[in-house]
Structure 1
Amino acid sequence: MSETKTTPEAPAQVNMANLRGGIEYASQWTLMWHRFRKHKLALVSMYVVFALYLMAVFAEFLAPFNPEDALRMPGEYKAKTYHPPQMIHFIDNSDGGFAIRPYIQSFKETRDPNTLKMTYVEDEGKKIYLTLFARGFEYKFLGLVRSDIHLFGPKNPGEVFYLFGSDRNGRDMFSRVVYGGRFTLSLGLIGVMLSVVLGLILGGISGYYGGKIDWFIQRVIEFIISLPTIPIWLAMAAVLPKNWPPQFQYMAVTVIISLIGWTSLARVVRGRLLAMRSEVFVVAAQLDGCSEGRVIFRHMLPSLASHIIAAVTLAIPMMVLAETSLSFLGLGLQPPAISWGVLLKEAQNIRSISAAPWLFMPGAAVVLAVLALNFMGDGLRDAADPYTH
């Protein structure tokens, strides 16, 4: 009787796709974005910050008039100083009908018979119609392409209007605020970048090596923190030559602010790296023969990326306020440079405030930028915290 050989059945191969079915994997940045989107105020603030930096980049295109020109209407011999702000109207029924076309009601100068003070009243018989992509003063778009097209402007060339009023020289405050955002916002961003580089390098070295190097760097940080800020700004700004062009003044003020603003980030990085030196992945990198610089900048600092992003976002408004304060006190940027701090110098005396309260418009721009940056930074900090739910 012959035996029939039976072969054992081959084990069924495991389908890894079935084991992973229904399971989604998200990176750390994806989880941060999902948590950040739940913070509605931070999300709106992010769009506001994005719009402000777009305004700074495309300042020439957005500004209807040259910020340095004293504007005057056709046929007038002098500029309209301290002209009040004008509102844009969209419904025009001057012809007895109904039409949707943007216009601004013109103002004319009158003199008060009692006080003999020059005032502005609406000129009912004259309207300034607006158009998109109007032609105006010539500029270089992004510093490359020469153009004279602006986002909006008067339909009839030569007419002028003042959305934010005018200053003592008859210059359009709206155009000056738009241009001022470029200096102030970019200075804050570049200043924070320099501070982050200094903070990461010195804080990383201090936390990784410890010992005498850590002691020396911490004493330097404590010395800088103990110095009063305003006198340091006074001393550093006093040595700047007054005949420097605005570009050199801009870079000098950026360096001055950055040399003071790196200390807080360096202390945070140092504390985190001191606690991280004994982690398994750090010891493994050292045993694998990685150089000290690679261990610090390739393995340890990337684990702090989310915290660094939040710290940078919260540091930018401090840089903005520092530039505004320096320029307002006459220690930072100087005319003809245009920044929000320089523009606020126009509102230093009581006469200017009483005659033209709209000179505080740059201050409103500073408040908007600082609040938006702070709210966005709070949202990023909460989203980067792994212990939040």
Structure 2
Amino acid sequence: MSATDEEIFAASEEPKQGDIAVAGQWKLFRLKFLKHKPAVISLFVIGFLYLMAAFANFIAPFDPNDTNARFTYAPPQALSLFHDGAFMPHVNALDMELNREAMRREFTPNPDKPLRIGFLVPSEPYDLLGFIPMETKLFGLVDPGPGDSMYLLGADRLGRDMLSRVIIGAQVSLSIGLVGVVISLALGLAIGGVSGFFGGKIDLVVQRFIEFLRSIPTIPLWMGLAAAIPVAWPPLRVYFVITIIVSLLAWTSLAREVRGKFLSLRNEDFVIAARLDGMSEFGIIFHHLIPSVVSHIIATLTLAIPVMILAETALSFLGIGLQPPAISWGVLLQEARNIRAVSQAPWLLFAPAGAIVIAVLSFNFLGDGLRDAADPYGSES
């Protein structure tokens, strides 16, 4: 074997324990994170969810507000890939009959009428990302006729496609977590950093204030603040106000985390050296302390996002958050408040609730992986 081949072979080997001991902070972070398989899988799931939210108008097969009185509470249609031995993605058409005894519609799949599904099908005009005019959807029915329908996740009480509504709802439910995290990051770093670095009376006052906020029951406080929003406000303004509301208490946990880290680092040699070199106190905070805890902050924020998603969901479900015509996963769950509707159409509960469970679990697994990676010399999990 030549020297070049030996070098390539050596470079392809996994890092040895001695290499890890002298690796840099971010290399240690990456190596420890990649060993956490659920976190790596969750990272791809979250990436897919945000990609879906960004291109929701292109991915959703129908306009989420299009109604069809003929298919109210239509059940999910099974997707089939083959027909008569040939590859042809399709769903079977639904035949509707009125059950006069139960006073409800009953739908039966008609295997003799397959409805072919294609990719990049024509659609009504819409704006992708808010400014790109489009007349094409990722997938949909090919040459649909009168009365043809495709409800992969069923339809609601107005005959609106639940799949399209869940995809569009991801835009609000997932973005509200990110926007809330930005607000929490600013408040948590500023207040927690000052409290931990300066200590003394400043730390005492800040910690008592944080304890006061954390002692207030969360749901009643959110309900009280959300109830103060004027009913006449447009959905976009309500969205930003709800984002601020769910962020009001989320910053306290991060502030506590940052305070603890700053307390343990403020008397380290590199901080004392920077102070003797003439660097200002705030310069030490921004140039030395914050970079030293950034990996831990990332892990903490990742765990805070699902809390904010659930907060928006709870407020909207209770009817004091976002309201129709705004679409979010919490708004979709409002349909599940009616037991009769859920008994007849359980997909009204399972479709948005399933999306919430997947998103929240993925963020929690990712946060666990990032938290372990932030302590690369800790015990193996």
Q: Normalized against structure 1, the TM-score is what?
A: 0.89
| Mapped pair 1:308 → 2:297 | yes
| Mapped pair 1:156 → 2:143 | yes
1:357 counterpart letter in structure 2? P
2:95 counterpart letter in structure 1? K
Whole-angstrom distance in 2 between the partners of 1:364 and 1:92: 30
8 Å CA contact 2:94–2:149 kept in 1: the answer is no
Aligned to 1:15: none
Q: Percent identity?
A: 51
For the residue of structure 1 that corresponds to 2:76, the secondary structure is: coil
8 Å CA contact 2:98–2:104 kept in 1: the answer is yes
| Mapped pair 1:222 → 2:211 | yes
Aligned to 2:6: none
Q: 1:63-122: CA deviations, max 9, x gaps? A: 000001103xxxxxx4310000011111111xxxx2101011011111346545420011
2:266 to 277, 290, 297: 277
Aligned to 1:347: 336
Q: How far 1:177 moved relative to its partner?
A: 0.2
Structure 1 unaligned residues grouped into runs of 5+: 1-20, 72-77
Whole-angstrom distance in 2 between the partners of 1:228 and 1:212: 27
Aligned to 1:48: 45
Whole-angstrom distance in 2 between the partners of 1:88 and 1:368: 21
| Mapped pair 1:384 → 2:371 | no
8 Å CA contact 1:86–1:104 kept in 2: the answer is yes
Aligned to 1:201: 190
| Mapped pair 1:369 → 2:367 | no
8 Å CA contact 1:91–1:99 kept in 2: the answer is yes
For the residue of structure 2 that corresponds to 1:327, the secondary structure is: helix
For the residue of structure 2 that corresponds to 1:153, the secondary structure is: strand
1:247 counterpart letter in structure 2? L
Aligned to 1:181: 170
8 Å CA contact 1:194–1:258 kept in 2: the answer is yes
For the residue of structure 2 that corresponds to 1:139, the secondary structure is: strand
For the residue of structure 1 that corresponds to 2:249, the secondary structure is: helix
Whole-angstrom distance in 2 between the partners of 1:55 and 1:137: 20
Structure 2 unaligned residues grouped into runs of 5+: 1-9, 12-17
Aligned to 1:336: 325
| Mapped pair 1:58 → 2:55 | yes
| Mapped pair 1:32 → 2:29 | yes
Select between 345-354 and 206-215 the one with higher mean Cα deviation. Answer: 206-215
8 Å CA contact 1:42–1:377 kept in 2: the answer is yes
Q: 1:297-323: CA deviations, max 9, x gaps? A: 111111001100110111111111111
1:284 counterpart letter in structure 2? A
- What is the number of residues matched between the two proteins? 359
Whole-angstrom distance in 1 between the partners of 2:252 and 2:229: 24
Q: 1:326-376: CA deviations, max 9, x gaps? A: 110112111111000000000102111111000011011101111111011
1:190 to 179, 197, 204: 179
For the residue of structure 2 that corresponds to 1:79, the secondary structure is: helix
Aligned to 1:3: none
Which of these two proteins has the greater Rg computed from alpha carbons?
1
Structure 1 segment 212-251 matched on structure 2, within 5 A: 212-251=201-240
Aligned to 1:85: 76
Whole-angstrom distance in 2 between the partners of 1:101 and 1:318: 42
Q: 1:256-301: CA deviations, max 9, x gaps? A: 1111110011011112111211111111111111122111111111
8 Å CA contact 1:70–1:79 kept in 2: the answer is no
Whole-angstrom distance in 2 between the partners of 1:288 and 1:146: 57
Aligned to 2:15: none
Whole-angstrom distance in 1 between the partners of 2:366 and 2:125: 36
Q: Normalized against structure 2, the TM-score is what?
A: 0.91
Whole-angstrom distance in 2 between the partners of 1:111 and 1:60: 34
Q: How far 1:384 moved relative to its partner?
A: 1.4
| Mapped pair 1:119 → 2:116 | no
8 Å CA contact 2:90–2:115 kept in 1: the answer is yes
| Mapped pair 1:134 → 2:125 | no
